[in-house]
A and B are shown apart, each in its own frame.
Chain A
Amino acid sequence: MNLIGFLSRFEDAGDHEAVLTRFYRETLRIRLVEEEIAKRYADQEMRCPVHLSVGQEASAVGVCQALSHDDQAFSTHRCHAHYLAKGGDLKAMLAEIYGKAAGCVGGRGGSMHLMDLDAGLQASVPIVGSSIALATGFGLAEKRNQSGNIAVAFFGDACVEEGIFHESANFAALAKLPVLYVCENNLYSVYTPLSQRQPDRPLTDVAKAHNMAVWHGDGNDVLAAYEISCQAVRHVRQGNGPALIVLDTYRWREHCGPNFDNHIGYRTEDEFEHWRKLCPLSRLEQALDIDGRVDSTKRKAIAKTLMEEINGAFEAAKSAPLPKLEDAGRYVFAE
């Protein structure tokens, strides 16, 4: 990992430890939240499907750290990492997964529909590809309003099979919209590998079809993901049209649910081990050890503080009340 190159983006040497701490904490926080969901799922108090981001934390953090607060993001069913990395409220997220009134959408959507307008996560839409057009529409509005903000669509590798991706990219390129398309390639769509879904060509090639700028990088290297994102974000914010970032990563646990499923036959334990060794957190920890400032003692303290926050948020979610039944029919139409 290119820590020196990364730090050169931050002028003040005094900031460097704070920046490294921030990147580590953001990445670790997602890992700890997701693993705690996995641990507690068997309690059957989180009664909705969960699509965990374990293993994919770095791409979310790398991209979101390159965004400004007012940039607006969209995600999919696998939205937990994007929600947290964009600054979404943890208590509201867990309350939502627990189906409580204090949930970020009042218990109406569950894990697949997380949003936090204060953090700039506009919506998570589970139908594959659906949110890409919404993000593009936001880009259209931002351009008309000359806000200087960009719209970001997070999605997986299967989305470039969906027509709506190409329809959105075609229009965004034509209209030079400030949209950043972030494709997290984790090699699988549920159990089906990429090789059975797309012809043998790099995912980045689809950007050429739409005359769109493209960057490709290691999604498990949070610093590289950040560097690429900075470049792409600058390109988009300067009015050059949309950009596509393809980040390579890997989903550790099953598509939907808390368990590991490397034994059921669609992928091998060896393949999983290969990617586990490329863990975004361990690699960052190794780089931090070499740098020396955010050492293992500091990191343990960070983890301890995070677990206090996370456990508190779980307890709050568990004890929060369910939504009122009489509200089930509300908000069909806006008044």
Chain B
Amino acid sequence: MSLPSDKMAPASNERVISFQQAVNEALDISVARDPNVLLMGEGINDPSSFWGTTKGIAERHGSQSVLEIPVAENGMVGVAIGAAMAGLRPVVNFQRVEFALLAIEQIFNNAAKAHYSSNGAHRVPIVIRLVIGRGWGQGPGHSQALETTFAHIPGLKVIMPTFAADAKGMLISAIEDDNPVIVLEHRWLYNLVDNVPVGHYRSPLDGAKVVRSGTDITLVCTAYNTIEALSAAETLSQAGCNAEVIDLRVLNPLNLEKVIESVKKTGRLITVDTGWVTYGVGAEVVAGVIEHAFAYLKVAPTRMGMPNHPTPSSRGLIPGFYPDTVSIVAEVGRSIGMSCEKIEELKLQLQAARGNLPIDVPDPSFKGPF
């Protein structure tokens, strides 16, 4: 997949690295700058090094920078929160978002509320990295996103970086933030490369980014769906439809300014969620747009995401389960009033281009830089 040619060449302080390498750099830099930063996880320093994201950190900065935790997610997140209240800056790492479910009471009650219920006395500068699984038959308990579950809680910041530069800069910002931050990292983004600045920098956790300008429709996406939406936008542009793609990036605190600005321009909105459609991110985005830009809507907004059932493992049950380039193109086509024939033509074109690529692994043409 090639992307709009208006992409800038890397700046002199940038080079092309992967999301996974970018996360590793963020952790490495943060540990180097502040001895209070403590990486905690099950297998934090094992040979897999959390898919390479924690590689080499203990070697470079000493064993006191990482802490292997027993398989006790509730207790250990509580320990991390207590340690954060005492002045450490723990980064808890779970290889699946589902592992955090065991610690929901600690996260929702102690992490999210300590600052409020202590009348501002306590701070909980904890970061919890959670990976959203997908593909290779991951199945019901290893493929959830759960972003709205976390984002629903006042006091809990929730971020979903898509591009490698954000993976690094937003993680650094999260670690330096005095609030609890949930970082949801989508597994299928790990190998995507992009221009990433060298050294320390922060990407403020301030809201959405327009990653592709357009005039005809607004696509609001989280994480991996941003990549699918960019691919869809390219196909659509060949068909004369100019889509604006927005990477939502920060779910809590939610800032819909750029989304509303965009819908006022395009009059059309499709949200593309990593989670289930029902009670998903799209529900909140659509509600906000209706509240603030109702008069600008030319057609009712549409929400895309996972259907209302758990993720099955078998590749025979997955087709159509996740939004993808084809379904996004079709949905946009419907929204802008494209003829059914034209939509079918585009779908067939995309399916032919895709050929026999298996659907339970990432599309190899999605690599970046973006």
Chain A residues at the B interface, C-beta cutoff of 8 Å: 72, 104-106, 108-109, 113, 115, 117, 122-123, 125, 127, 130, 132-142, 144-145, 151, 163-164, 166-168, 170-171, 174, 330-335
Are B80 and A163 in contact (CB-based, < 8 A)?
no
Are B85 and A127 in contact (CB-based, < 8 A)?
no
Cβ of B367 within 8 Å of any chain A Cβ, yes or no, is no
Cβ of B303 within 8 Å of any chain A Cβ, yes or no, is no
Are B81 and A331 in contact (CB-based, < 8 A)?
no
Question: How far, in Å, is A287 (CB) from chain B's closest CB?
Answer: 38
Name the residue of chain B whose CB is nearest to the CB of A106: B119
Further pairs besides A134-B81, A144-B38: 14, Cβ < 8 Å = A108-B119, A113-B117, A133-B74, A133-B75, A133-B106, A136-B79, A137-B85, A138-B86, A140-B79, A141-B87, A164-B74, A167-B70, A167-B78, A331-B120
Bound-state Cα–Cα, A211 to B38, Å: 26
**Which of B70, B86, B178 sits near A174, CB closer than 8 Å?**
B70
CB within 8 Å for A332 and B105 given contacts A133-B82, A167-B70, A171-B75: no
Chain A binding surface SS class: helix
Name the residue of chain B whose CB is nearest to the CB of A125: B110
Are A171 and B72 in contact (CB-based, < 8 A)?
yes
Are B119 and A144 in contact (CB-based, < 8 A)?
no
Are A130 and B70 in contact (CB-based, < 8 A)?
no
Are A333 and B115 in contact (CB-based, < 8 A)?
yes
Chain B residues numbered 119-152 whose CB sits less than 8 Å from any CB in chain A: 119-123
Chain B residues at the A interface, C-beta cutoff of 8 Å: 38, 64, 69-70, 72, 74-88, 105-106, 109-110, 114-123, 154-155, 157, 178-179, 253
Bound-state Cα–Cα, A145 to B86, Å: 10
> Inside 8 A of A72's CB, which chain B residues have their CB?
86
Question: How far, in Å, is B17 (CB) from chain A's closest CB?
Answer: 31
Bound-state Cα–Cα, A170 to B74, Å: 13
Name the residue of chain A whose CB is nearest to the CB of B90: A137
**Which of B79, B84, B117, B154 sits near A171, CB closer than 8 Å?**
B79
> Inside 8 A of B72's CB, which chain A residues have their CB?
163, 167, 170-171
**Which of B75, B83, B110, B178 sits near A141, CB closer than 8 Å?**
B83
Bound-state Cα–Cα, A195 to B179, Å: 42
Are A123 and B106 in contact (CB-based, < 8 A)?
no
Q: Report the 6 A-B pairs with minimum CB-CB distance, sorted nearest first.
A: A137-B82, A133-B78, A167-B75, A141-B86, A167-B72, A134-B82
Question: How far, in Å, is A135 (CB) from chain B's closest CB?
Answer: 6
CB within 8 Å for A334 and B179 given contacts A136-B79, A137-B82, A140-B82: yes
Are A137 and B179 in contact (CB-based, < 8 A)?
no
Are B70 and A168 in contact (CB-based, < 8 A)?
no
Question: How far, in Å, is A16 (CB) from chain B's closest CB?
Answer: 37
Bound-state Cα–Cα, A136 to B74, Å: 12
Question: How far, in Å, is A168 (CB) from chain B's closest CB?
Answer: 5
**Which of B38, B79, B116 sits near A168, CB closer than 8 Å?**
B79
> Inside 8 A of A333's CB, which chain B residues have their CB?
115, 155, 157, 179, 253
Are A134 and B121 in contact (CB-based, < 8 A)?
no
CB within 8 Å for A117 and B82 given contacts A127-B105, A163-B74: no
Are B118 and A123 in contact (CB-based, < 8 A)?
yes
**Which of B75, B83, B88 sits near A163, CB closer than 8 Å?**
B75
> Inside 8 A of B70's CB, which chain A residues have their CB?
167, 170-171, 174
**Which of B83, B115, B121 sits near A137, CB closer than 8 Å?**
B83
Q: List 27 A-B contacts (CB under 8 A).
A: A72-B86, A105-B121, A106-B119, A108-B119, A115-B118, A123-B114, A130-B105, A133-B82, A134-B81, A137-B81, A138-B82, A141-B83, A163-B75, A164-B74, A166-B75, A167-B72, A168-B78, A170-B70, A171-B69, A171-B76, A174-B70, A330-B120, A331-B116, A333-B155, A333-B253, A334-B120, A334-B123
Bound-state Cα–Cα, A145 to B38, Å: 13
Bound-state Cα–Cα, A306 to B197, Å: 65
**Which of B76, B116, B118, B178 sits near A332, CB closer than 8 Å?**
B116
Are B115 and A332 in contact (CB-based, < 8 A)?
yes
Name the residue of chain B whose CB is nearest to the CB of A132: B78
Question: How far, in Å, is B159 (CB) from chain A's closest CB?
Answer: 13
CB within 8 Å for A167 and B76 given contacts A137-B81, A144-B64: yes
Bound-state Cα–Cα, A137 to B120, Å: 20
Bound-state Cα–Cα, A144 to B70, Å: 18
Are A105 and B119 in contact (CB-based, < 8 A)?
yes
Name the residue of chain B whose CB is nearest to the CB of A169: B75
> Inside 8 A of B76's CB, which chain A residues have their CB?
133, 167, 171
> Inside 8 A of A122's CB, which chain B residues have their CB?
85, 122
Bound-state Cα–Cα, A50 to B70, Å: 36
Question: How far, in Å, is A64 (CB) from chain B's closest CB?
Answer: 19
CB within 8 Å for A134 and B74 given contacts A105-B119, A141-B86: no
> Inside 8 A of A335's CB, which chain B residues have their CB?
178
**Which of A106, A123, A140 sits near B83, CB closer than 8 Å?**
A140
Question: How far, in Å, is A235 (CB) from chain B's closest CB?
Answer: 21
Which of B83, B85, B117, B121 has most A Cβ within 10 Å? B117
Question: How far, in Å, is B42 (CB) from chain A's closest CB?
Answer: 12
Bound-state Cα–Cα, A139 to B106, Å: 17
> Inside 8 A of B155's CB, which chain A residues have their CB?
332-333
> Inside 8 A of B118's CB, which chain A residues have their CB?
105, 108-109, 115, 123
Are B74 and A167 in contact (CB-based, < 8 A)?
yes
Bound-state Cα–Cα, A174 to B76, Å: 13
> Inside 8 A of A125's CB, which chain B residues have their CB?
109-110
Bound-state Cα–Cα, A122 to B81, Å: 12
Name the residue of chain A whose CB is nearest to the CB of B121: A117
> Inside 8 A of A117's CB, which chain B residues have their CB?
121
Are A136 and B82 in contact (CB-based, < 8 A)?
yes
Are A108 and B82 in contact (CB-based, < 8 A)?
no
